[in-house]
Amino acid sequence: MSTTHLLRERLAALRGPATSPRPLDARALAALAANPGCRRRAVLDAAGVDKGAVAGVLGAPAPFGQSRFAFSRGHAFEARVKADDCGELLRLLGAEGPAHVPDLTAAGPEGRAARTRLALAEAPPGAWTLLDHPLLALEVAGSTAYLEPDAVAVAPDGGWTVVEIKSFPILDGAADPQKVGAAARQSAVYVLALDAVTPGRARRSVLLVCPRNFSNQPAAEWLDVRKQAAVTRRQLARLTRIEEITATLPEGTTFDLVRNADGDATRPAGELASAVDAVPAAYAPECLSTCELAFHCRARALAAQDVAALGRSLRGDLGELTTVEAVLTAAAGTAGDPADPAVVALRRAAALRSEALAHAAKEAAAPSFAPADAAPSSGRPAIPGQPAVTDRPATAAAPAAAEARGAENVKGAKGVKGAEGAEGGDRR
């Protein structure tokens, strides 16, 4: 029995014999490449496990993925782009005249991938060929992943161009940078899959098609994915082979949810959590936007005081200090290698903090120059050399006193006028 067949049987047992595999798409593959150290995601994705359903049973569901409205809007826009024998798409590609659109239907993913390879090889030179939803195969950590781009165009010169259709808008010639970056990473995975068919034929510029402004009119932008393709290729090469990971799992480990006739999961949450925790994870805050199990992994990382939960950059700066307790004891000087640069920096930071706190306490204990009877009723300290600030509301006597002062001023003014009149009479 071949190694590939044994691996497939092992992955089927992990997924559950009665569970259909969840296909690994380019978006998930790009997320996996961004975190190559996470063995948990590598195994679950290779086995085709529904991570969202697993997270729901574990009591840590994540609001991840597109809504039904976004799905329907995306499908409607893609149909608009590919209407009339893909005339609008060919216009965006700069093609003149109609294009050959081969039939790619076949039985099973292996058959569709083979049919796609044949269509790419048989594309006539000197004319445009457009492959609508081809299926590409890419080996990831010893397991085959099948990827389905929106379209692949074969130019008259024989070059292959990936077409990515998205429903987010291009507003005044600019789109959301985060969404464009995600589309570029996803397209880079398709480029690598095309390189697996014939190296050098896939172009590193992909066509991103989005709605123009708030209309349904398609607009296109060219994306250079050379950097994304190089990074993804390097990260995928770092992935541990799936058979090596599965060999370390306890006997009988499975992520099967054991659904009943109604489709409801009956697997106990504690039992499923033990199976999930048997596979090491590499949690980082970035997982919250890319993985359905992020909340579960974050809870486990915080419970273990793993400093990786605070960010990859901080984790890298701390070196061998992997827990919050180890960091605190190293900063206090009770543990840690004095020659470790991270320990030296922590102790220096702790000394500066202690010095700042001591200085603040000394200033707070300094005597105040404000009068003793000027203390505000609210209990707030008075500012030295300044009148005390009081929150005491005005009493009823205050308006009366002001009125009395006003009357005296009026009376005094009348007296002045009278005196002035008398003096005037004398002068006359």
* 365 part of a folded domain: no
> In the chain, what percentage of residues exceed pLDDT 90?
57
* Residue 98 vs residues 86, 94, 127, 156, 303: alpha-carbon distances, Å: 9, 11, 9, 12, 60
Binned at pLDDT 50, 70 and 90, residue 42 comes out as very high
* Residue 244 vs residues 42, 143, 274, 335, 355: alpha-carbon distances, Å: 11, 12, 20, 36, 51
CB 45 within 8 Å of CB 292: no
* 290 part of a folded domain: no
Assess whether 230 and 245 both reside in one domain: no
Assess whether 83 and 107 both reside in one domain: yes
**For residues 217 and 219, what is the distance between their CA atoms, to the nearest angstrom?**
7
Query: 222-259 burial, b for 16+ CB within 10 Å, e for fewer?
Result: ebebeebbebbeebbeebbebbebbeebeeebbbbbbe
* 190 part of a folded domain: yes
* 389 part of a folded domain: no
CB 159 within 8 Å of CB 258: no
**For residues 250 and 230, what is the distance between their CA atoms, to the nearest angstrom?**
36
Assess whether 230 and 260 both reside in one domain: no
Assess whether 215 and 76 both reside in one domain: yes
Assess whether 85 and 15 both reside in one domain: no
Instruction: Please give the helix or strand (H or E) that residue 137 lies within, else none.
Output: strand 136-140
* Residue range 343-388, pLDDT digits in tens: 999 999 999 999 999 999 998 888 766 555 555 554 454 444 455 5
Q: Which residue has the tokens 């294009």?
A: 99
Looking at the 3D structure of the chain, how many domains does it have?
3
Domain boundary among 235, 270, 294: 235
* 114 part of a folded domain: yes
Assess whether 160 and 195 both reside in one domain: yes
Helix, strand, or coil (residue 282): coil
Domain of residue 98, residue span:
68-235
Taking alpha carbons only, the member of 199, 167, 159 closest to residue 183 is: 167
* 425 part of a folded domain: no
The residue among 324 and 85 whose pLDDT is bigger is 324
Q: What is the DSSP letter of 134?
A: -
Using CA of residue 47, residue 49, residue 54, residue 60, what is the dihedral sign? Answer: positive
Q: Is the per-residue pLDDT at 136 higher than 90?
A: yes
Assess whether 184 and 140 both reside in one domain: yes
> How would you classify residue 34: left for phi > 0, otherwise alpha for psi between -120 and 50, otherwise beta?
alpha
What residues are paired with 202 via a beta bridge? 160
* 46 part of a folded domain: yes
Assess whether 127 and 208 both reside in one domain: yes
Assess whether 223 and 96 both reside in one domain: yes
> What six digits make up the tokens of 128?
């445009």
Mean pLDDT of 223-240: 91
Assess whether 88 and 73 both reside in one domain: yes
* 125 part of a folded domain: yes
> What six digits make up the tokens of 316?
């890298």
* Residue range 256-314, pLDDT digits in tens: 999 988 889 999 999 999 999 999 999 999 999 889 999 999 999 999 999 999 998 88
Assess whether 84 and 220 both reside in one domain: yes
Assess whether 73 and 206 both reside in one domain: yes
